Amino acid sequence: MEKPGRRAARRLATVVSIAASDSGGGAGIQADLLTFAAHGVHGATVLTAGTAQDSRRIRAIESFPPRFVRAQMDAVFEDLRPRAVKIGALVDAGIVRAVAAGLARHHARHVVLDPVTAAKDGARLLSREAALAVRRDLLPLCELVTPNLPEAESLAGVRIRSDGDRRLAAGILADLGAGAVLLKGGHARGRSVRDLFFDGRFFVEFVAPRLPGPSVHGTGCTLSAAIAANLALGRSLEDAVERAIRFLRDAIRRPLRPGSGHPVPDRLARRPPQKR
């Protein structure tokens, strides 16, 4: 029985972010936790690295030992049993292998990989050896991978200059083992942003007018975290992608400027309705 004067704790779906810390709060773990909160899910974390970062650049990066990444994963998965996983910056091959082994060991569900290769200022967040480990060890464990155009070129090993190239790159990533691919179109030019979704059989394109204003920091983190949150809430993959795109667009319509550099999405601008 519940003790007098004490309320029963409410159960929430847990989503874990396996990513680096952004000390400026614009991307990484910090962005993911805000996005999870906006979707009404509990956010857990597995830190892969720490950055000395402000709103303009990364000043320093320190990765954590793979054994510590493993220990964090065991702690989170054994107790909190996440319903979905978002993966961000992994930095080096040892961490990639530790994450892949942990996902397999704990039979992780709904794994969404944002294959971060470089920060907005150009700082490298995935070594070349680590990129090979992502292709070999991690992609086969992912329900969805969400590269931007440069990341897709790097992982698929093709130049993307046309619609046909985009479809080819998405197909290569699916052939490498990813369950589905969302090839983001934000880096392309034009009045519209065209995000290409491929589920291994069919292509779906999400097209929306390009929003005016400055370049915003942390959009990739926000989108992938929102997809993972929607999957944890029981939505289908395509529905989760569509809802996450709308969430991100709402978040960057009126971006916040916490420092003197890049603005960031207002991830708490709109709290999407929960599925009943």
Q: Does any domain span residue 32?
A: yes
Q: What are φ and ψ of residue 264, in 5° steps?
A: -130, 155
pLDDT of residue 166: 94
Which of 53-62, 168-177, 206-215 is predicted with the least confidence, judged by mean pLDDT?
Answer: 206-215
Q: Does any domain span residue 49?
A: yes
The torsion angle over the Cα atoms of residues 135, 193, 58 and 155, rounded to 10 degrees, is 10
Say yes or no to pLDDT of 230 above 90. yes
Q: State the Cα–Cα distance between residues 181 and 172, nearest whole angstrom.
A: 10
Side-chain-facing half-sphere of 68: CA atoms under 13 Å: 7
pLDDT of residue 47: 97
CA angle 138, 21, 232 (to 5 degrees): 55
Going from the C-alpha of 276 to that of each of 231, 234, 235, 273, the distances in angstroms are 14, 10, 11, 9
Q: What are φ and ψ of residue 93, in 5° steps?
A: -65, -35
Q: Does any domain span residue 259?
A: no
> How much is the pTM?
0.92
Q: pLDDT per residue over 182-210, tens digit each?
A: 999 876 777 888 999 999 999 999 998 88
pLDDT of residue 121: 57
CA angle 85, 40, 180 (to 5 degrees): 35
pLDDT of residue 276: 42
Q: State the Cα–Cα distance between residues 42 and 84, nearest whole angstrom.
A: 11
Alpha carbon 60 to chain centroid, angstroms: 22
Q: Does any domain span residue 263?
A: no
Which CATH number do you get for residue 28? 3.40.1190.20
Class of residue 8 by CB neighbours under 10 A (exposed 0-12, middle 13-18, buried 19+)? exposed
Give the distance between the most distant pair of CA atoms in the chain: 66
Q: Show the beta-strand stretches assigned E in the chain.
A: 14-22, 42-53, 58-63, 84-87, 111-113, 144-145, 181-183, 192-198, 203-209
Q: State the Cα–Cα distance between residues 273 and 79, nearest whole angstrom.
A: 27
Bigger pLDDT: 212 or 19?
A: 19
Q: What is the DSSP letter of 134?
A: I
Q: Does any domain span residue 55?
A: yes
* CB-based contact 163:200 (threshold 8 Å): no
Amino acid at 51: T
pLDDT of residue 240: 98
How many domains is the chain partitioned into structurally? 1
> What does pLDDT average to over the chain?
90
Structural domain for 102, as ranges:
14-253
Residue among 236, 163, 231 at smallest CA distance from 203 = 163
Q: Does any domain span residue 123?
A: yes
Q: Does any domain span residue 44?
A: yes
Q: Does any domain span residue 270?
A: no
Q: pLDDT per residue over 128-179, tens digit each?
A: 888 899 999 999 999 999 999 999 999 999 999 999 999 999 999 999 999 9
pLDDT of residue 122: 59
Say yes or no to pLDDT of 2 above 80. no
Bridging pattern class, strands 144-145 and 42-53: unpaired
